[in-house]
Amino acid sequence: MLPAFTSLRHLATNRMRRAASEFRMTVPWGEIRGQVWGPSNGRPVLCLHGWADNCGTFNSLIPLLPKDWRFVAIDFPGHGLSSHRPDGCFYNFPLYAADVRRVVEALQWKRFSIMGHSMGGNVAGTFSALYPEMIDAVVLLDTYGFLPTQVTDIFKNLRKGITDQIQYDNKTEERKERVYTYEKAKERLKAANPSLSDQSADILLERAIREVEGGFVFTRDFRINLKNTVSYNMEQCLHMMSQVKAPVMILLAKDGLFKTFALPDGYVDLILKSWANQKATIVNVEGDHHIHLNKPESMASIITDFLQSHSPVKPQSESNNNQSSKL
């Protein structure tokens, strides 16, 4: 490994301040990777990163949360160090929710808290609606948990997603990984994510690139950039929202995602009204889309207070299951 990259790994490890062990589990197409903090019998919290990021997005935040909790942060398939999906397969939200189900099955978690940033928050919302009996609390970081799409756009997106996938599959011989110097890779990452600080970019690059002859290549699967083939309209999103039974907290950054990613007129008000009807806690914080990574101290106590106020009461048999979780 190049000396410069080794030192950057050391920098990121120092910033974490708490040792994290590597999570690995086998899936039919390879493995899902991630990181684990805290004792095996601690309160289980599953952490889900945003689109094109990786589980390193929680490296700054988790060290500021209770040390006696058990945090597992995964790299979604096609991201970070997790395997890419098989050739010909799509990336979409239902499949990510299925990935979460595989992970908690391997962990033997029967009930747990879930925290997601951006896309990961939308997966957390979907999973919490599908499996409400498994979730005791939900924390959404700069996301509403559901991303409604106008009906006319649903079918346009489906057509484009299918076309994009087939075109990609037909260009096998033309695909070539681009090799970057570390600094050029960092520039590209920051260009795609202007909210990232230098240190935050270094943390994400821990799992976002791998070393090859002549430099570094990105680990993520290019197919995550293709148009998502599965989306939901407002009626479907509101129905799924109603299925979430756990307490929910939504942390919205004032200069975050939805300042640059606009939803159709009226959508935000309707979503927030629906969450308010379910007594969700909605908190606005100063910062940008990656505030949890750039300045985690601004929200760590908010998250801790919320989760502590909704501490799960688990039967003894369930506690025993958590203590024997497989990693």
Q: Give tens-digit pLDDT for 25-58.
A: 999 999 999 999 999 999 999 999 999 999 999 9
The set of catalytic residues is: 118
What distance in Å separates the CA atoms of residue 18 and residue 23, rounded to the nearest whole number?
A: 15
pLDDT value at residue 311? 81
Tokens of 126: 């979907």
pLDDT value at residue 314? 55
Helix (H) / strand (E) element for 155: namely helix 151-169
pLDDT value at residue 317? 41
pLDDT value at residue 316? 39
215 CB-near residues (< 8 Å, 6+ apart): 179, 180, 181, 182, 184, 185
Tokens of 223: 């197919």
pLDDT value at residue 17? 54
* Angle between helices 198-208 and 3-16 in degrees, nearest 10: 110
pLDDT value at residue 202? 98
Nearest to 37 by CA among 56, 18, 54: 18
pTM comes to 0.90
Sole residue written with tokens 């951006």:
118
- Residue 228: CB atoms within 10 A of its CB come to 19
Tokens of 134: 């498994």
DSSP 131: -
Encode the chain (327 residues) as per-residue pLDDT tens digits: 333 333 344 334 444 457 899 999 999 999 999 999 999 999 999 999 999 999 999 999 999 999 999 999 999 999 999 999 999 999 999 999 999 999 999 999 999 999 999 999 999 999 999 999 999 999 999 999 999 999 999 999 999 999 999 999 998 777 788 999 999 999 999 999 999 999 999 999 999 999 999 999 999 999 999 999 999 999 999 999 999 999 999 999 999 988 888 888 999 999 999 999 999 999 999 999 999 999 999 999 999 999 999 987 654 344 444 444 444
User: Residue 96: what residue type?
Assistant: Y
pLDDT value at residue 22? 97
What distance in Å separates the CA atoms of residue 149 and residue 153, rounded to the nearest whole number?
A: 7
- Nearest 5°: phi and psi at 241? -60, -40
DSSP 134: G
- Residue 196: CB atoms within 10 A of its CB come to 24
Give the domains, in start order, of the chain with CATH numbers: 3-317 (3.40.50.1820)
- Residue 89: CB atoms within 10 A of its CB come to 16
